[in-house]
Amino acid sequence: MHEHLKESRYRHSLGVEEMAVRLAGLHGADAEKAAFAGRYHDIAKNMDIPEMDAQIRKYGLPEHLLGNNALAHSKVGAAILEHEFGVKDADILNAVRYHTTARKGMSLLEELIFVADVVEDNRTYSDLDYYQQLAYSDLDRACYEILEYTIGDLKGKNREIDTDTLEARDWVLQRIKEKNNGK
C-alpha cells in the first residue's frame, strides 16, 4: 500500500488506523476490523483523475463519480479491497466505502472510521482536541458535529453535498435525540 500513497497520505492512514483502534476500544467495536479499515480507507486516494475514472468504469460504479476523486476514492477503494484483495467482510467494505460521506443506518465500524478519519492525531486544524475528546466520549455527537461542519463547509464553497451525507446527519441526529429521550 505504501508505494501507492504519498508519504503524508500513508502517515494519515496509519493515524486513522491508530485512532480507529483507540475508538474501537472505547466504544465496543472490533479492533481488528477497525485497524484494517483504518489502514486501507484511503487506498485509492492518490489516483489521478484518468486512473480513478478507469477504476470507476472497471467496477461499474455510478457515473456521477467520474471526475470527482474526492467522492470516488472511497467507493473505488472498497471495490479494490473486494475484487483485488479478496476482502469479503461487508462491514469493512462499507466502512471504507462510506468514510467520506457517511450514510444513514451506518454500523458502529462505519461511524468509527468516518470519525477517525477526521480526528486522527496527524490532523492539524484548530478544533482537533475538541473533536477528539468528543469522539472519545460520544461517537454519535462527534459524528453529527463533523457532518454539520462538512455540510456547512461544502455549502460555503458552493459545492455539491452528497445525499448520503445529508441523510447521515439526519439519521445521527435522530439517534442522539432518541438516546437523550431515553435518559
Rounded to an integer, what distance in angstroms lies between the CA atom of residue 152 and that of residue 150? 5
pLDDT band, residue 122 (cuts 50/70/90) = very high
- Say if CB 96 and CB 76 are below 8 A apart: no
- DSSP helix/strand/coil, 151: helix
The answer to whether the pTM exceeds 0.85 is yes
- Say if CB 26 and CB 44 are below 8 A apart: no
What's the pLDDT score for residue 160? 86
Question: For residue 3, is pLDDT > 60?
Answer: no
Q: What is the rounded end-to-end Cα distance, in angstroms, of the chain?
A: 45
Question: For residue 90, is pLDDT > 90?
Answer: yes
- DSSP helix/strand/coil, 86: coil
What's the pLDDT score for residue 4? 65
What's the pLDDT score for residue 181? 85
Question: For residue 166, is pLDDT > 70?
Answer: yes
What's the pLDDT score for residue 6? 80
pLDDT band, residue 9 (cuts 50/70/90) = confident
The pLDDT mean for the chain works out to 95
pLDDT band, residue 163 (cuts 50/70/90) = very high
Q: To 5 degrees, how large is the angle CA 78–CA 132–CA 22?
A: 60
Amino acid, res. 170 = D
Residue 59's contacts (CB-CB under 8 Å, 6 or more residues apart) are 76, 79, 83
pLDDT band, residue 155 (cuts 50/70/90) = very high
Question: For residue 35, is pLDDT > 60?
Answer: yes
Helix ranges restricted to H, the chain: 7-27, 31-40, 49-58, 69-83, 90-97, 108-119, 128-137, 139-156, 163-181
Rounded to an integer, what distance in angstroms lies between the CA atom of residue 93 and that of residue 77? 9
pLDDT band, residue 10 (cuts 50/70/90) = confident
Of 1-5, 83-87, 91-95, 110-114, where does mean pLDDT reach its minimum?
1-5
Question: For residue 94, is pLDDT > 60?
Answer: yes
- Residue 135 cell numbers, joined: 469522539
| Topology classification of domain 2-181 | Hypothetical protein af1432 (1.10.3210)
What's the pLDDT score for residue 64? 92
- Say if CB 88 and CB 82 are below 8 A apart: yes
Rounded to an integer, what distance in angstroms lies between the CA atom of residue 168 and that of residue 183? 23
pLDDT band, residue 176 (cuts 50/70/90) = very high
